[in-house]
Structure 1
């Protein structure tokens, strides 16, 4: 689907914090088109997709194993948020696969792994940023848990206020992380720009297309929930699909000064 860039719709512009790459105006059907294109990439690179799918499956299994060691089911929600925080960084290799297809190349596992170091300093800075946010969330979750009355039983009606508070805080943090990271990693993979430019450009794209990006965020959220409900087995397919689709979303959303000429 073609897009006509309307600069007046951009929420942010170059400022004292950094440069902002303009974005296109999106249509409501775009997120579903990204999924369709992502599914095509999956079928063309099944082995690379499986490799990353296994990683995306093992990570939450490891998280939940650590949760089980605490013998406290109330830390499951923070663990889910933590998984959503590290997802964008882990997906860098899959972005490279889609990019290779667009250039008419045959993607390889090693080439996709090297993509994580293409913009090394700023990609690691982004990973550290996500890690700091994750630690911040865990501390907030611990504080909420510590302040809650110790005499509350496991009865759901008595747990509801606690769960509502934790879910609300987690939802706000997830929305913040989605805004700053929706397209940050793809930008860093394809372009030699600094982290602030990538983050500001992601914020601009999300805020300028709030409704459409809310649909995309909901699709990601549903995918994560399905993964957890299936004991993470569905992550073998869901997470690579979302990563491939994110790359196509980035191509459709973030503009370039000149038309891309893939060889």
Structure 2
């Protein structure tokens, strides 16, 4: 019986998946990841351009829909909220970078197959996390509008903009809205920057993926928050010309995030797990 118990104890760790280990990174690693992401885009530009174009088109449709529904004053909050789904939209880009790194064949059929397979995996739950935060974003916009500008609508985005920048209430709405938006964006970044590429590569639960993502950010807060700041500035600039900048910048950011994930997280080999269990 003792031998049987000992055998069971020794075989259980072998059946468990290796826990992700978080590494500390520096700004040099961020620069290296950005360089690798740019190289991936250059090696397979057609995939990045198409995915970026669809994402840009989606943002443009959201803004135009708000205008068609006589809610053009919500164009800016909607555009900013739409960018929050960027991590999910970049899944195809992560797969391109993964295949380039692994030396595997790249084709639209393989990329679409990989993305379609995610619907039954844990990555689909991450989509709900992103959606939940996006809903919170829109609710806080409506709440702040009601608190500072009252329960009224605006005939045009120009009228809304004039109200925001020329009145004390509007300036307060702008300030508080950006602070709350920055907090929500930071929360989303912390939960997803590592979890999306991790779930694409590894068969893990989304809770473990989010915990790993939080650990990666807290282990290297300055480089990771610095990367978040870079992403924010790039996305804001990219949205300015009718979202057209996203056609180029989204794929580069997506490829870079994949390489940043590979620098932040490692998985021990099975033999290392067995040696650790034996000790």
**Residues 179 and 155 (structure 1 numbering): CA distance in 2 closer, same or farther, change over 3 Å?**
closer
- Give structure 2 stretches of 5+ with no counterpart: 1-17, 153-159, 271-279
| CA distance, structure 2, for counterparts of residue 88 and residue 200 of structure 1 | 16
Select the residue among 189, 213, 216 that pairs with 1:202.
213
Q: Secondary structure at the match of 1:192?
A: coil
Q: What is the aligned length? A: 241
Q: What CA distance in whole angstroms lies between the structure 2 residues aligned with 1:215 and 1:73?
A: 32
Partner of 1:245: 256
**Which stretch of structure 1 is more off in the superposition, 120-129 or 159-168?**
120-129
Distance in 2, matches of 1:233 and 1:32, equals: 25
d(CA) in 1 for partners of 2:70, 2:20? 46
Write out aligned runs for 1:120-135 (5 A).
120-135=120-135
Aligned 8 A contact 1:94 1:240 in 2: yes
- Residue 104 of structure 1 corresponds to 103
Larger CA deviation: 61-70 vs 133-142: 61-70
RMSD value over aligned CA atoms? Answer: 2.1
Tell me, what secondary structure is at the counterpart of 1:257? coil
State the 1:235 CA deviation: 0.8
CA distance in 1, matches of 2:73, 2:215: 35
Residue 157 of structure 1, CA deviation: 3.5
Structure-2 separation of matches of 1:44 and 1:234: 20
Q: Which position in structure 2 is the counterpart of 1:30?
A: 29
- The residue correspondences of 1:162-177 to structure 2 (distance < 5 A) are 162-177=173-188
Q: Matches of 1:169 and 1:254 in 2, distance apart?
A: 30
Deviations 1:174-201 (A, max 9, x none): 0110000111110110000001011110
More helix by share: 2
Q: CA 1:87–1:75 in structure 2 vs 1: closer, same or farther (change >3 Å)?
A: same
Q: Is 2:165 the counterpart of 1:156?
A: yes
Q: Is the CA contact (8 Å cut-off) linking 2:19 and 2:268 kept in structure 1?
A: no
Matched with 2:59 is: 60
How far off is 1:100 after superposition? 0.6
Q: Which moved more, 1:146-155 or 1:83-92?
A: 146-155
**2:235 aligned with 1:236:** no
Q: After superposition, what is the alpha-carbon deviation per residue over 1:118-167, rounded to whole angstroms, capped at 9, x for unaligned?
A: 44331111111211211122112111111224499726141211100111
Larger radius of gyration: 2
- In structure 2, the residue matched to 1:136 is 136
The TM-score with structure 2 as length reference comes to 0.80
Structure 1 SS opposite 2:252? helix
Question: TM-score normalised to the size of structure 1?
Answer: 0.85
CA contact (8 A) 1:118 1:189 kept: no
Separation in 1, partners of 2:54, 2:108: 13
Partner SS state of residue 236, structure 1: helix
Mark the CA change 1:108 to 1:43 in structure 2 (over 3 Å): closer, same or farther.
same
- Segments of 5+ residues of structure 1 without an aligned counterpart are 1-18
Residue 45, structure 1, aligned to residue 56, structure 2: no
Q: Which moved more, 1:79-88 or 1:40-49?
A: 79-88
Instruction: Decide whether aligned partners of structure 1 residues 70 and 161 sit closer, same or farther in structure 2, where only a CA change above 3 A counts.
Output: farther
- 2:266 aligns to what? 255
SS in 2 for 1:221: helix
Q: Which among 238, 242, 245 is matched to residue 227 of structure 1?
A: 238
